[in-house]
């Protein structure tokens, strides 16, 4: 999908934070010759804006320090993962870092898979990522390392550091103890190396059912860190895998696969969110126990992004999709990268947001208004100005002859003369916004009223002479007089009135569906105090109107961003639009209508 607005926006300046400081110090001390990070999503759902923070951090560090960043599918759990998710992740990452592509090479040449080879650290599995076109590249896969990972596990058994355990999942849990009560050794802990090797080979060969046996690291059942109490590192799963098919019925667990995938790929800084801090001793234990050569990767943790009015867990987002509470993962109300993209959020706005919120060790909630601000700033720069009326009310200019058409010139962008101008036809019948007229207006209402005057943007002042109502008392038409002397260049152009409104010429207007999106939840913390987030869905998160647009919007360039003046930022829906029949989506309103609601933010 094109993300090429008229002006690509400004690149955010290089930020500084504790992780970047550590990276800079490692480089200065000569610990690594080149920085290498990775972004490792599990392909069990679509990426959300929290992942965008991690993508911008990992790819951003690689870019800033002249390094590399791998996109790696952390695909060790076949039952939850799917090719659809792999493809969406690839598309989302490419879209998000697209503007940085020349500096951060995150993929590998298609079809080149690291071979299962030696486990003594001599073989370099690192592949030079492709710099070519996106069709030639694919992500890295943890599942590409199943053979070397298996060999590492065999090596750990040979070293007496891992054993096959026959405890059931329930008993394994019981033996583990609790944070304040030490665990108990498994009765299978002292099996001989030979027996362990034989059983592990049979686990791989498919001799046992799911859950019958596991491979466990032999560490310390009394450790205060529960992750060091002989963690399970392999389990049996007779299930097809989206990438390796039916080759395996034995799958490594996250902790075992992750540090070794990092090692295999030559990762230097393995950056993850704070909940993995307690896993770090295990990460280091595995790498050190195998006695691996060359600089080992290190794990660093930062606080995950939480956003107000947003839920951010793939599992819960999946529930919204499955229960048809949204139209899909790319519903423009979803906080997924694909939803934000479909809504018209430019990649640059997301990157600016992700860099602007910084990287810390403190968990907190970021106000969604910060994201919306970044979005408005970006769109204000790139969006072409257009006139559109969402809820039309007819105005008849009685002093213009039927069929008479005038033209007014309007700039496409107030601060960018290069964006050019266009001609707006002006005729006897116009549409204005229903909200811009009030029969009985309150004080300080400066728009149109009976007998009152208002300026039509880019055109002239009109006066409302007569209000036409239907039998039910609804206003259906305003009969007005246009004062053409007040147009730009006219003898009375300096005449001032308090209100200026937008309009379109009725016979020239294009009728189009416009989808008006608002926040998906009515509460800043949808899950506060254990509340079901589905109970606070905003019933007005989508409103569909048939709007009247100026004629130039009939065939919008795909990917173009528009400001419908006074209304907000819009773009043609890349999914629902048909040639000559665009469907516009509101990306964001001009102003935040939520902050004034007491107690909501
Ligand atoms: P979720 O809990 O939403 O399902 P996850 O952490 O299980 O997400 P992964 O696919 O494992 O999702 O995440 C890939 C990477 O993105 C990890 O390094 C993870 O730490 C990071 N990440 C996930 N959520 C966030 C977030 N909210 N803020 C920052 N980074 C995140
Ligand atoms: Mg996860």
Would 442 be classed as within a structural domain? yes
| Local confidence band at 114 (pLDDT 50, 70, 90 cut-offs) | low
Give the mean model confidence (pLDDT) for residues 316-338: 97
Instruction: Give the 3-state secondary structure of residue 20.
Output: helix
* Residue 556, ligand 1, Cβ within 6 A: no
- Looking at the structure of the chain, the number of domains it has is 4
Q: How much is the pLDDT for 594? A: 72
Q: Of 111, 183, 107, 118, whose CA–CA distance to 147 is shortest?
A: 118
Ligand that comes closest to the CA of residue 47: 1
pTM, whole model, 2 decimals? 0.92
Q: How much is the pLDDT for 293? A: 78
Least confident of 9-18, 158-167, 222-231, 322-331: 9-18
* Residue 51, ligand 1, Cβ within 6 A: yes
> Could you say which of 53, 213, 280, 314 is catalytic?
314
| Local confidence band at 100 (pLDDT 50, 70, 90 cut-offs) | low
In the annotation, is 314 catalytic?
yes
Contact 460, 484 (CB under 8 A): yes
Burial 152-174 (b: 16+ CB within 10 A, else e): bbbbbbeeebbbbbebeeeebee
* Residue 50, ligand 1, Cβ within 6 A: yes
Same domain, 137 and 259: yes
In the annotation, is 323 catalytic?
no
* Average pLDDT over the chain, rounded to an integer: 91
> What CATH number does residue 162 fall under?
3.90.800.10
* Residue 313, ligand 1, Cβ within 6 A: yes
Would 600 be classed as within a structural domain? no
* Residue 273, ligand 1, Cβ within 6 A: yes
Return the axis-axis angle of helices 146-158 and 254-265, rounded to nearest 10°.
Answer: 110
Q: How much is the pLDDT for 295? A: 83
Over residues 272-306, the pLDDT tens digits come to 999 999 999 999 999 999 998 778 999 999 999 99
Domain interval for residue 452: 386-509
Contact 268, 35 (CB under 8 A): yes
Taking the CA of residue 55 as reference, the ligand 1 atom at the shortest distance is 16
| Local confidence band at 15 (pLDDT 50, 70, 90 cut-offs) | confident
Would 381 be classed as within a structural domain? no
Would 330 be classed as within a structural domain? yes
> What CATH number does residue 263 fall under?
3.40.50.620
Give the mean model confidence (pLDDT) for residues 389-400: 98
Task: Identify the H or E element spanning 94.
Answer: helix 83-97
CA–CA dist 443, 445 (Å, integer): 6
Q: Of 338, 392, 441, whose CA–CA distance to 48 is shortest?
A: 338
Same domain, 398 and 500: yes
* Residue 258, ligand 1, Cβ within 6 A: no
CA–CA dist 60, 15 (Å, integer): 9
**Residues of the chain above pLDDT 70, percent:** 91
Same domain, 24 and 136: yes
Ligand that comes closest to the CA of residue 142: 1
Residue of 17, 39, 41 best suited for mutating to test ligand 1, as the one with most atoms within 8 Å of CB: 41
Contact 446, 499 (CB under 8 A): yes
Q: How much is the pLDDT for 101? A: 56
**Residues of the chain above pLDDT 90, percent:** 83
> Could you say which of 237, 304, 394, 449 is catalytic?
304
Q: Given a cut of 60, is residue 112 above it in pLDDT? A: yes
Please give, one letter per residue, the 3-state secondary structure of 33-59.
CCCEEEECCCCCCCCEHHHHHHHHHHH
Same domain, 433 and 338: no
Would 5 be classed as within a structural domain? no
Six-digit token pair at 398? 């009685």
Q: Given a cut of 60, is residue 579 above it in pLDDT? A: yes
Q: Determine the distance separating the centroid of ligand 1 and the alpha carbon of 51, expressed in angstroms.
A: 6
Q: Of 328, 271, 386, 290, whose CA–CA distance to 6 is shortest?
A: 386
Question: Burial, 589: exposed, middle or buried (Cβ in 10 Å; 0-12, 13-18, 19+)?
Answer: middle
Q: Determine the distance separating the centroid of ligand 2 and the alpha carbon of 257, expressed in angstroms.
A: 13
Q: Of 186, 215, 185, whose CA–CA distance to 199 is shortest?
A: 215
Backbone conformation region of residue 130, classed left if phi is above 0, alpha if psi is from -120 to 50, else beta = beta
* Residue 335, ligand 1, Cβ within 6 A: no
Q: Determine the distance separating the centroid of ligand 2 and the alpha carbon of 424, expressed in angstroms.
A: 53
* Residue 314, ligand 1, Cβ within 6 A: yes
Task: Identify the H or E element spanning 385.
Answer: strand 384-386
Residue of 50, 270, 305 best suited for mutating to test ligand 1, as the one with most atoms within 8 Å of CB: 50
Q: How much is the pLDDT for 102? A: 52
Q: Tell me how crowded residue 375 is: count the other CB atoms within 10 A of its CB.
A: 22
Nearest CA to ligand 1 atom 3: 313
* Residue 396, ligand 1, Cβ within 6 A: no
Q: Of 538, 532, 542, whose CA–CA distance to 585 is shortest?
A: 542
* Residue 303, ligand 1, Cβ within 6 A: no
Q: Given a cut of 60, is residue 39 above it in pLDDT? A: yes
Same domain, 164 and 86: no
Strands 421-427 and 405-411: antiparallel
What's the Cα-to-Cα distance from 17 to each of 28, 349, 456, rounded to whole Å? 16, 20, 49
Same domain, 227 and 270: no
Greater model confidence, 134 or 61: 61
Q: Determine the distance separating the centroid of ligand 1 and the alpha carbon of 53, expressed in angstroms.
A: 9
> CB neighbours of 336 closer than 8 A, spacing ≥ 6?
46, 47, 48, 49, 92, 317, 329, 330
Six-digit token pair at 33? 């010759």
Q: Tell me how crowded residue 407 is: count the other CB atoms within 10 A of its CB.
A: 13
Strands 162-165 and 214-217: antiparallel
Q: How much is the pLDDT for 601? A: 30
Q: Determine the distance separating the centroid of ligand 2 and the alpha carbon of 91, expressed in angstroms.
A: 19
Q: How much is the pLDDT for 13? A: 58
> What CATH number does residue 406 fall under?
2.40.240.10
Instruction: Give the 3-state secondary structure of residue 570.
Output: strand
Return the axis-axis angle of helices 49-64 and 83-97, rounded to nearest 10°.
Answer: 50
Same domain, 137 and 280: yes
Ligand that comes closest to the CA of residue 357: 1
Q: Given a cut of 90, is residue 597 above it in pLDDT? A: no
Q: How much is the pLDDT for 596? A: 52
Six-digit token pair at 293? 């050569």
Over residues 176-220, the pLDDT tens digits come to 999 999 999 999 999 999 999 999 999 999 999 999 999 999 999
Would 26 be classed as within a structural domain? yes
Same domain, 187 and 241: yes
> Could you say which of 20, 42, 429, 457 is catalytic?
42
Over residues 553-572, the pLDDT tens digits come to 999 998 999 999 999 999 99
Same domain, 139 and 268: yes
Q: Determine the distance separating the centroid of ligand 2 and the alpha carbon of 203, expressed in angstroms.
A: 26
Same domain, 480 and 440: yes
Strands 542-549 and 475-483: unpaired
* Residue 274, ligand 1, Cβ within 6 A: no
Q: Determine the distance separating the centroid of ligand 2 and the alpha carbon of 254, expressed in angstroms.
A: 9
Ligand that comes closest to the CA of residue 270: 1
CA–CA dist 561, 382 (Å, integer): 7
Give the mean model confidence (pLDDT) for residues 386-399: 98
Long-range contacts of 445-448 (CB under 8 A, 24+ apart): 446/497, 446/498, 446/499, 447/499, 447/501, 448/478, 448/480, 448/499, 448/501
Strands 388-389 and 298-302: unpaired
* Residue 54, ligand 1, Cβ within 6 A: yes
* Residue whose structure tokens are 């802990």: 189
Torsion of CA 59, 62, 64, 67, to 10 degrees: -160
Nearest CA to ligand 1 atom 26: 50
Q: Which of 509, 536, 563 is the last residue of a domain?
A: 509
Six-digit token pair at 401? 């002859």
Q: Determine the distance separating the centroid of ligand 2 and the alpha carbon of 43, expressed in angstroms.
A: 9
Q: How much is the pLDDT for 580? A: 87
Task: Identify the H or E element spanning 270.
Answer: strand 269-273
Same domain, 51 and 103: yes
Q: Determine the distance separating the centroid of ligand 2 and the alpha carbon of 488, expressed in angstroms.
A: 60
Same domain, 404 and 487: yes
* Residue 312, ligand 1, Cβ within 6 A: yes
Ligand that comes closest to the CA of residue 306: 1
Would 594 be classed as within a structural domain? no
Would 209 be classed as within a structural domain? yes
């Amino acid at each position: 999908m094109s993300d090429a607005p008229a002006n690509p926006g400004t690149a955010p300046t290089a930020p500084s934070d504790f992780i970047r400081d550590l990276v800079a110090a490692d480089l200065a001390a000569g610990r690594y010759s080149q920085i290498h990070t990775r972004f490792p999503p599990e392909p069990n759902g679509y990426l959300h804006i929290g992942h965008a923070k991690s993508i911008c951090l990992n790819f951003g560090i690689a870019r800033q320090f002249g390094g590399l960043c791998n996109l790696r599918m952390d695909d060790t759990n076949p039952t939850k993962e799917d090719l659809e998710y792999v493809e969406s992740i690839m598309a989302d990452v490419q879209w998000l870092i697209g503007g940085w592509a020349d500096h951060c090479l995150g993929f590998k040449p298609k079809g080149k898979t690291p071979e299962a080879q030696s486990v003594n650290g001599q073989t370099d599995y690192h592949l030079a990522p492709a710099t070519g076109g996106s069709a030639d590249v694919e992500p890295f896969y943890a599942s590409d390392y199943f053979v070397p990972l298996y060999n590492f596990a065999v090596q750990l058994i040979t070293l007496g550091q891992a054993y096959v355990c026959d405890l059931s999942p329930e008993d394994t849990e019981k033996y583990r103890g609790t944070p304040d009560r030490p665990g108990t050794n498994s009765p299978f802990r002292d099996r001989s190396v030979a027996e362990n090797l034989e059983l592990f080979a049979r686990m791989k060969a498919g001799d046992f059912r799911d859950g019958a046996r596991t491979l466990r690291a032999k560490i310390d059942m009394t450790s205060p860190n529960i992750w060091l109490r002989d963690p399970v590192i392999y389990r049996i799963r007779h299930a097809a895998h989206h990438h390796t098919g039916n080759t395996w019925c034995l799958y490594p667990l996250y902790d075992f696969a992750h540090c070794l995938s990092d090692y295999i790929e030559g990762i230097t800084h393995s950056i993850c969110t704070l909940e993995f801090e307690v896993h770090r001793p295990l990460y280091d234990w595995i790498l050190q126990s195998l006695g691996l050569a060359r600089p080992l990767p290190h794990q660093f943790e930062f606080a995950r992004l939480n956003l107000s009015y947003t839920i951010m867990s793939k599992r819960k987002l999946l529930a919204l999709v499955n229960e048809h509470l949204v139209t899909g993962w790319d519903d423009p109300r979803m906080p997924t990268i694909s939803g934000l993209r479909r809504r018209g959020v430019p990649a640059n706005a997301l990157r600016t947001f992700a860099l602007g919120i910084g990287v810390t060790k403190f968990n907190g909630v970021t106000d969604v208004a910060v994201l919306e601000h970044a979005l408005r700033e970006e769109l204000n720069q790139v969006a072409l100005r257009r006139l559109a009326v969402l809820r039309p009310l007819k105005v008849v200019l009685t002093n213009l002859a039927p069929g008479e058409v005038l033209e007014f010139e309007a700039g496409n962008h107030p601060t960018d003369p290069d964006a050019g101008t266009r001609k707006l036809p002006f005729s006897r019948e116009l549409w204005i916004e229903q909200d811009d007229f009030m029969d009985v207006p309150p004080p300080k209402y400066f728009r149109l009223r009976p007998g009152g005057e208002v300026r039509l943007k880019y055109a002239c002042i009109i006066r409302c002479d007569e209000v036409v109502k239907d039998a039910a008392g609804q206003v259906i038409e305003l009969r007005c007089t246009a004062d053409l002397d007040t147009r730009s260049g006219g003898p009375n152009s300096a005449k001032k009135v308090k209100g200026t409104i937008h309009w379109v010429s009725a016979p020239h207007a294009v009728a189009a569906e416009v989808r008006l999106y608002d926040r998906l939840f009515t509460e800043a913390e949808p899950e506060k105090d254990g509340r079901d987030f589905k109970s606070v869905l905003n019933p007005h998160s989508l409103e569909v109107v048939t709007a009247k647009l100026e004629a130039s919007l009939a065939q919008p360039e795909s990917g173009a961003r528009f400001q419908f003046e006074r209304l907000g930022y819009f773009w043609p829906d890349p999914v629902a639009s048909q040639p000559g029949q665009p469907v516009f989506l509101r990306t964001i309103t001009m102003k935040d209508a939520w902050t004034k609601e007491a107690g909501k933010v």
